[in-house]
Amino acid sequence: MKEHEGDLKAAGKRFAIVASRFNDFLVEHLERGAEGTLVKLGASSNDISLFHVPGAFEISPVAAWCSRSGKFDAVICLGAVIRGSTPHFDYVAGEAASGIAQVARDSPVPVIFGVLTTDTIDQAIERAGTKAGNKGAEAAMTAVQMSNLYEILRRELGKTP
């Protein structure tokens, strides 16, 4: 059996990070985690571009633009949506997830979902770099692995579908 898996080598690769400004006291930790991980895995800081959008709802159109630009090997989507006392959370979290998923399906490069969707601020804080690790760093690792797997797929199977 022939196995294929992307490695964690980011040298020579270019990454876009699309990050929400809403809940920026959390998202900035995700951004730092993603950037630090990419650099640790060999990417140059000059090969990482950060695009800020107002909220999680606005992430997917900018991610789509970045993914089709031909300038990036992967796009990392970061944000934080925290449940409140109204149904607004359900709409924003759901649309952010489905929008990013649609971009990922249509993209020639990996588009990674790193948007926190939590019930409480404490849960979000845990996922932004305390008890539960840094989900931005995890998203960056996934982006590197997937970008390398996409290279294998292109080599083995040809152009993107």
Mind telling me the catalytic residues? 88
Answer whether residue 48 is part of any domain: yes
Q: Which domain holds residue 28?
A: 15-149
Q: Where are the extended beta strands (E) located within 5-161?
A: 15-20, 48-53, 74-82, 111-118
How confident is the model over 13-41, as a mean pLDDT? 97
Cα 160 from chain centre: 20
Check whether 118 has a pLDDT greater than 80: yes
- What is the structure's pLDDT at 161? 59
Instruction: Please say if the pLDDT value at position 134 is more than 80.
Output: yes
Residue with the bigger pLDDT between 90 and 18: it is 18
**Is the pLDDT at 160 greater than 70, yes or no?**
no
Number of domains into which the chain is organized: 1
Residue 10 lies in a domain: no
Residue-wise pLDDT tens digits, 45-62: 999 999 999 999 999 999
Q: Please write down the long-range contacts of 99-107, taking CB distance under 8 Å and 24 or more positions apart.
A: 99/57, 99/59, 99/60, 99/61, 100/59, 100/60, 100/63, 102/60, 103/60, 103/63, 103/64, 103/67, 103/75, 106/64, 106/67, 107/64, 107/67, 107/68, 107/75
Residue 154 lies in a domain: no
4 domain-assigned: no
pLDDT at site 85:
84
Q: What is the pLDDT of residue 62?
A: 98
Confidence check: pLDDT of 36 > 80: yes
Residue 53 lies in a domain: yes
Note whether residue 9 is domain-resident. no
| CATH value at residue 105 | 3.40.50.960
The answer to the question of residue 74 being in a domain is yes
Q: In this model, does residue 34 exceed pLDDT 70?
A: yes
pLDDT score at 135: 97
Q: What is the mean pLDDT of the chain?
A: 95
